[in-house]
Structure 1
Amino acid sequence: MTTPAPKDLDELMQRVDDMAGLTLGQLASHHGIPVPENLRRDKGWTGQLIETHLGATAGSKPMQDFIHLGVELKTIPLSLSGSPLETTYVCVAPLINIQGLCWQDSLVKHKLQRVLWVPIEGDRQIPVAQRRIGTGILWEPNNDEEQLLKQDWEEIMELIALGKVESVSARHGDVLQLRPKAANSKVVTEAIGKEGKTIMTNPRGFYLKTGFTASILARAFG
């Protein structure tokens, strides 16, 4: 069952409120979608289910999930204590042709200017179908949060520009990190190498660290 895109923010948030408290199994049944036994091989299944229910339109395109509303959708799996269980993928990182690229024009800023966070029970002890959907929140970074994101992005992009992409680890950045983003290590793409020469390396993605997403949820839910 395909859900039409919401006409406005009010309709989107009403759909978010209506699904709060449901299990993934109940939501999947409503749309005739089979529930996987576990998410090891179906890592994106939960996000796709929520996208289907809410009427997201972007699919895999590099744009916000609700482009007409300026909203990016992010599901966030939580532990039994309410802490984020994993980092949050933002977007693919550009590794070539980055001259003149600035924070204001970056895909990271574009994606994170307004995010709909949907918390979901993620503890592996809970069968996938029985995991409950929490109350969604609409978040826009405040000045302090944007400054942290900008600072990390600029530092990481400078290292990429200097041909040091392969020396950037997940430890770099206070709130934003760069990590390999590919189905396996055999997937490669062009990047800037030492002395400006082109090298082949694994694609990279920007991810939000769990401490940052935990602070967003703490601010929203007190």
Structure 2
Amino acid sequence: MPASPATLDELLARSTALAGMTLGQLAAQLQLTVPQNLQKDKGWVGQLLEQILGASAGSKAEPDFPHLAVELKTLPVNQQGKPLESTYVCVAPLTGIAGQQWHESWVCQKLQRVLWVPILAERNIPLAERMVGTAFLWQPNAEQQLALQQDWEELMEQISLGGIASIRGAQGKILQLRPKAANSKALTAAVGAEGEPIRTLPRGFYLKAGFTAGLLQQQFQSV
């Protein structure tokens, strides 16, 4: 596996060099087998990119390139360059969250600097033939930072007040909260409407597809 890039420039050079390559070609470099589909291997594309670029965080609660403070996110897009789905950020804490501040949150830390790697990933393209696009580095500007913070604070307040069951994916300008579980039996602890302990599906924070579509547009119009 390649060593971790020492500098931001090295990471950008490495990721830019992948543009135009297929996932099959990248997997062959690492002598990995490409799965038939992503149903059982949902995180496979992200893990492949992490390995090829030398990410070192693994599953730790820190950015993928901790020494560069950069999080890696793959972004499946269609032929028109529109994102095909919302982007998973991290698991949402459902208990013991009183007094947690935005700047201490895992969401805030993970989104301070993101290396986006678009992947042409329409459903009809076999996994091995899906192509890597031009990667770019993004940092939230003041307006985006504020919108993220407001969404996070509203959602966290609802969770802490026992309103988890009423949270819908349509909530939030940028950030949404959605169930995140391998199956319906994977329940976790949370707070109910009366403040009582309940069991519910784990939730994850996701960036809405409309927001990442705007990032792509901004990036490639300004190139």
Q: Which amino acid aligns with 1:170?
A: G
Written as runs of structure 1 = structure 2, the 5 A alignment for 1:172-187 is 172-187=171-186
Q: Normalization by structure 2: what TM-score?
A: 0.97
Deviation at 1:66, TM superposition (A): 0.4
Within 1, Cα distance between the matches of 2:204 and 2:61?
12
CA deviation string 1:108-152 (max 9, x = no partner): 110000000000011012111111101100000011111111111
Deviation at 1:41, TM superposition (A): 2.0
Name the residue aligned to 1:70. 69
Matched residue of 1:196: which SS?
Answer: coil
Within 2, Cα distance between the matches of 1:41 and 1:121?
20
Within 2, Cα distance between the matches of 1:56 and 1:7?
11
Matched residue of 2:68: which SS?
Answer: coil
Residue segments in structure 2 that go unaligned for 5+ positions in a row: none
Name the residue aligned to 2:44. 45
Name the residue aligned to 1:212. 211
Deviation at 1:193, TM superposition (A): 1.4
Name the residue aligned to 2:197. 198
Which stretches of structure 1, 4 residues or more, deviate above 2 A after TM superposition? none
Written as runs of structure 1 = structure 2, the 5 A alignment for 1:101-180 is 101-180=100-179
* Contact preservation (8 Å) 1:62, 1:91: no
Within 1, Cα distance between the matches of 2:82 and 2:161?
36
Residue segments in structure 1 that go unaligned for 5+ positions in a row: none
Identity %: 57
Name the residue aligned to 2:12. 13
Name the residue aligned to 2:88. 89
Number of residue equivalences: 221
Within 2, Cα distance between the matches of 1:72 and 1:63?
8
Q: Normalization by structure 1: what TM-score?
A: 0.97
CA deviation string 1:19-46 (max 9, x = no partner): 1111111111011011122222221111
Deviation at 1:68, TM superposition (A): 0.7
Q: Which amino acid aligns with 2:13?
A: Q
Within 2, Cα distance between the matches of 1:96 and 1:42?
29
Name the residue aligned to 1:54. 53
Q: Which amino acid aligns with 1:126?
A: I
Deviation at 1:192, TM superposition (A): 1.4
Matched residue of 2:75: which SS?
Answer: strand
